[in-house]
Structure 1
Amino acid sequence: MISEEQFRTELDLIIKNAVREDVGDGDHSSLACIPPSAQGKAKLLVKDKGIIAGVEFAQLVFQYIDKTLEIEVFVKDGESVKFGDVVFHVSGNSQSILKAERLVLNAMQRMSAIATKTNYFANLLKGTETKILDTRKTTPGIRALEKWAVKIGGGENHRFALYDMIMLKDNHIDFAGGITKAIEKTHTYLADNQKDLKIIVEARNLTEVKEILASKGVYRILLDNFSLEDTKRAVEIIGDACLTESSGGINEHTIAKYAACGVNYISSGALTHSVYNMDLSLKAI
């Protein structure tokens, strides 16, 4: 995974680009009718239920817009919320609060929806050793926020991007001329370029699982669209040779059954690509 420094750099880029996109040469609605010296206060109001996420990000946004803004937090990231709860108060320059409003709401609504869904899946895995993972099926430009929300909701992050882990999927394998060749070429590439990256290899059937195991240095085998029966068999075959991950078509009705097969991880793109924003509002008080 990426370092904390890289993660913070991603957040800075998201904020700068979002403000550029939304504010442009000025928030003319506020500039037109609110005096520059006006002071105000607003509350983040919950109109839904679930797991709140993005509070810390909201603080970063407010501080980027105006370092004099003051935020009083009542509900922290990862805590449950219900209709009527107030997450925080923000006070200070009225123009600054309004300039930050939409970015804060857009981010927190999306992040809270992801955290809520992740928390639901994570609870379905309680009592097992299996962890829920996200994927790269994220919204372009705000991946750091969505993966942050997964962690807030109780999940774990898969690789962040193409550069922090090797993942040999079906197309890589087919273009490389087979599983064994793909793994061999990968080890050579990593050695030649002095890179220390973990290797995950996708298996489409039990025969491919056995072929992957014949090669050394594989960190995790991804069992793609395996039936429950084949998943159990694959876990038995793999044993302690490497970690296991199930993926493909797993939902809330089947996730516990796949976990019972003994896989270490279950990855789900639905955590980030199929959620409905939590209803939140920023209201003047």
Structure 2
Amino acid sequence: MLTRTTIDRVVGAALEEDAPWGDITSEMLIIPTATARADLVAREAGVFSGGEVFAAAFRLTDPRIEVELVAEDGEWFDAGAVLAVVSGPARGVLTAERIGLNFVQRMSGIATLTGRYVAEVAHTGARIADTRKTTPLLRAFERHAVVNGGGHNHRYSLSDAVMAKDNHLAVLAQKGVSVTAALQGAIARLPHTTHVEVEVDRLEQIDAVLAAGVGTIMLDNFSLEDLRAGVAQIGGRATVEASGGVSLETVRAIAETGVDVVSVGALTHSARALDLGLDVRLDATHVPL
């Protein structure tokens, strides 16, 4: 969950990185009493995400700056739309501008890409989920953006759920430990509220995992034919997740195999920042910063 505490901590660090000893350009060129009014304008269509993060960049720079959010997180917009209006001391507006834009452009890019994936599978029962392939220290921001785009969050961290992947199973096999027995032992020791998921990469692994009574089975890098076979083999006894090789071109066919979840690392690790700009009003015109 993206909290104000997290926003202020991360945005504050970003502002300090960008202006560790102040913004000497604005301090040398702009008189202290100057004010500015600027519009956050969309250069292309997309889904808005990160409004409160954008506003925080200005609030933390100068509490006198006001930010009116015109668009809400999760709202689709067209090119040319005004998404927010910033007004207040010009020095602060100019100092915070790049950090505010960096966050909102990144988050809106993730939300927009997620929205496209969600649209591709809307006719199925599958949900689109993110992964832990996030930018270090920005996970809460990026996952908030995924939700804004209509997607769902996977486990937040290694502490939230048991997820046995191929390397875990390889270590068990190397030691001659039964996968079923190991999983059953783990489930017996866990709180009943803790979810258990296991990744498999071939059909013959499924029965041993099912026998342990896990909640979710991830079919990793399966062909479409094997995905359909895996869904039938599991037969509703666990949630079925598909992962690996998922793109906008392949996600529809993957979802149509009957899986419950399609996890997509590309939502966060490959999303392009959306083109948004902050235009300072000068009389009746807009001047791009």
Q: Are 2:219 and 1:223 equivalent residues in the alignment?
A: yes
Quickly say closer, same or farther: Cα 1:197–1:16, change in 2 above 3 A.
farther
Provide the rounded CA distance (Å) in 2 between the counterparts of 1:202 and 1:165: 13
- The answer as to 2:142 corresponding to 1:109 is no
The Cα offsets for residues 176-224 of structure 1, whole Å up to 9 and x where unpaired, read as 3353354245336x54xx68421111011111111100102x2211110
TM-score by length of 2: 0.89
SS of the residue aligned with 1:16?
helix
Match of 2:286 in 1: none
Q: How does 1:178-257 map to 2 (within 5 A)?
A: 179-184=179-184, 186-187=186-187, 190-191=189-190, 196-216=193-213, 218-257=214-253
1:93 paired residue number: 89
- In structure 2, what is the Cα distance between the partners aligned to 1:278 and 1:121? 16
1:163 aligned residue = 159
Q: Pick the aligned partner of 2:264 from 257, 265, 268.
A: 268
Query: How many percent identity over aligned positions?
Result: 39
- Do the aligned partners of 1:168 and 1:182 also contact (CA within 8 Å) in 2? no
Question: Which residue in 2 is equivalent to 1:133?
Answer: 129
Aligned match of 1:176 in 172, 193, 212? 172
Quick one: which amino acid aligns to residue 206 of structure 2? V
Alignment match of 1:124 (pick from 107, 120, 123): 120
Any conservation in 1 of the 2:210–2:234 contact (CA below 8 Å)? yes
Query: Which whole-Å CA distance do the structure 2 matches of 1:250 and 1:175 have between them?
Result: 27
Helix, strand or coil at the partner of 2:248: coil
Q: 2:22 maps to what in 1? A: 26
SS in 2 for 1:201: strand
Residue 8 of structure 1: how far off its partner (Å): 4.3
**Whole-angstrom CA distance in 2 between matches of 1:199 and 1:256:** 27
How many residues are aligned here?
Answer: 277
Partner Cα separation in structure 2 for residue 7 and residue 165 of structure 1: 21
Q: Which amino acid aligns with 1:84?
A: G
**Is residue 133–residue 265 contact of structure 2 (8 Å, CA) maintained in 1?**
yes
CA–CA distance in structure 2, aligned partners of residues 211 and 187 of structure 1: 14
Q: CA RMSD in A?
A: 1.9
Offset of residue 273 of structure 1: 1.3
**Partners of 1:8 and 1:160 in 2: CA distance:** 18
Give the drift of 1:133: 0.5
Relative to the length of structure 1, the TM-score reads: 0.90
* 1:253-275 deviation per Cα after TM superposition (whole angstroms, max 9, x unaligned): 22122212211100011111112
Structure 2: how far apart are the matches of 1:93 and 1:106? 21
Counterpart of 1:233 in 2: which secondary structure?
Answer: helix
For 1:154, give the aligned amino acid: G
Displacement after TM superposition at 1:118 (Å): 0.5
**Distance in structure 1 (CA, Å) of the matches to 2:216 and 2:268:** 22
AA aligned to 1:187 is I
Matched, 1:142 2:126: no
Change (3 A) 1:172 1:13: farther
The runs of 5 or more residues in structure 2 that have no matched partner are: 282-289
Q: Is residue 134–residue 156 contact of structure 1 (8 Å, CA) maintained in 2?
A: yes
Is residue 70 of structure 1 aligned with residue 66 of structure 2?
yes
CA distance in 2, matches of 1:14, 1:185: 39
CA contact (8 A) 2:181 2:212 kept: no
**Residue type of the alignment partner of 1:279:** D
User: Counterpart of 2:97 in structure 1: which amino acid?
Assistant: E
Return closer, same or farther for 1:67/1:153 CA change in 2, 3 Å cut-off: same
Q: Secondary structure at the match of 2:160?
A: coil
